[in-house]
Amino acid sequence: MRIDIVTIFPEFFSVLDVSLLGKARQSGLIDLEVHNLRDFTHDRHRTVDDTPYGGGAGMVMKPEPWGEALDSILGASTSSATEAPLLDETASPDETASPDETPLPELVEGADATPTVIFPSPAGEVFTQKLAREFAEHSHLVFACGRYEGIDQRVVDYAATRASVRLVSLGDYVLNGGEVASMAMIEAIGRLIPGMVGNPESLVEESHEDGLLEYPSYTKPAEWRGYEVPPVLLSGNHAAIAAWRREQQVERTRRIRPDLLP
């Protein structure tokens, strides 16, 4: 999988050189590149923000550096932006007429061949394990990390003429930018790529994988500070262990996340 990240804080992603993803990059499972948005500015102050049209607090990210950054990642656009249509955010690229009707490369064949530009946004669809599984099927993901009050909307409209666009939220709370959300999504997606985790079996038994919270885990010693390990786990009776674990999943989910229960 190819992953591109555009941000004004590239150093934020240096942790991706180590960890599980670090190994995936070495093994070629993931080809990841971090781009500094300021490298796509041309003024002495490398300006990426300006005051909002219509007034209001804070600053908005300028479209020009984003346009150049996306063009460098998605390949230069064949059309002039003036004709760009307004975005229907749920549409995949081929449903919104690209300005000059030229079919985008690979649009015709398999859907996941088309790059997907993910804009982390508090106004996006909420990220879930289901979405992580969907994105793990894609061959090229671009994470567009905004800051300030957000990115000029025309950047999202333009991106939709070049790729699939998804606005995705990490959850119903406000962050200062898209970097933390992108990092969380890249980890959740990356570990689902075949070959990423040593034992794919372990992926199956996780919270949210089967819609239930996971069961409690224990390891040696059998007694610790007066706390015992549930005897069934020491019984060797695999059917009883599986039944106990399932009961624990359902009980925990009912108590902590009843919204997950059918």
Measured from the CB atom, the residue of 121 and 249 that comes closer to ligand JD8 is 121
Q: Is 93 in the site for ligand JD8 (CB under 6 A)?
A: no
* 31-36 sheet: strands from edge to edge: 31-36, 2-7, 140-144, 116-126, 164-169
Q: Is 217 in the site for ligand JD8 (CB under 6 A)?
A: no
The pairs formed by 51-58 with CB atoms below 8 angstroms and a separation of 24 or more are: 52/149, 56/149, 57/149, 58/148, 58/149
Of positions 169, 208, 244, 252, contacts ligand JD8 by CB under 6 A: 169
Q: Is 52 in the site for ligand JD8 (CB under 6 A)?
A: no
Measured from the CB atom, the residue of 16 and 144 that comes closer to ligand JD8 is 144
Measured from the CB atom, the residue of 40 and 119 that comes closer to ligand JD8 is 119
- Which residues, in sequence order, are CB contacts of 17 under 8 Å at separation 6+? 25
Q: Is 230 in the site for ligand JD8 (CB under 6 A)?
A: no
b/e per residue, 25-57, with b = 16+ CB within 10 A? beeeebebebbbbeebbeeeeeebbeeeeeeee
**What is the Cβ-side half-sphere exposure of residue 22, based on CA atoms within 13 angstroms?**
7
Of positions 155, 178, 189, 192, contacts ligand JD8 by CB under 6 A: 178
Contacts (CB under 6 A) with ligand JD8, residues 115-134: 120-122
Measured from the CB atom, the residue of 87 and 170 that comes closer to ligand JD8 is 170
CB of 104 to ligand JD8, least distance (A): 26
Contacts (CB under 6 A) with ligand JD8, residues 147-166: 147, 149-150
Q: Is 181 in the site for ligand JD8 (CB under 6 A)?
A: yes
Measured from the CB atom, the residue of 117 and 181 that comes closer to ligand JD8 is 181
Per the CB < 8 A criterion, the answer to whether 178 and 121 are in contact is: yes
Of positions 170, 188, 192, 233, contacts ligand JD8 by CB under 6 A: 170
**What is the Cβ-side half-sphere exposure of residue 238, based on CA atoms within 13 angstroms?**
0
b/e per residue, 63-74, with b = 16+ CB within 10 A? bebbbbbbeebb
Q: Is 174 in the site for ligand JD8 (CB under 6 A)?
A: yes
Measured from the CB atom, the residue of 169 and 248 that comes closer to ligand JD8 is 169
Measured from the CB atom, the residue of 98 and 164 that comes closer to ligand JD8 is 164
CB of 118 to ligand JD8, least distance (A): 9
**Total binding residues toward ligand JD8, as defined by CB under 6 A:** 17
Q: Is 175 in the site for ligand JD8 (CB under 6 A)?
A: yes
Q: Is 171 in the site for ligand JD8 (CB under 6 A)?
A: yes
Residues of this chain that bind ligand JD8 (CB under 6 A)? 120-122, 146-147, 149-150, 169-171, 173-178, 181
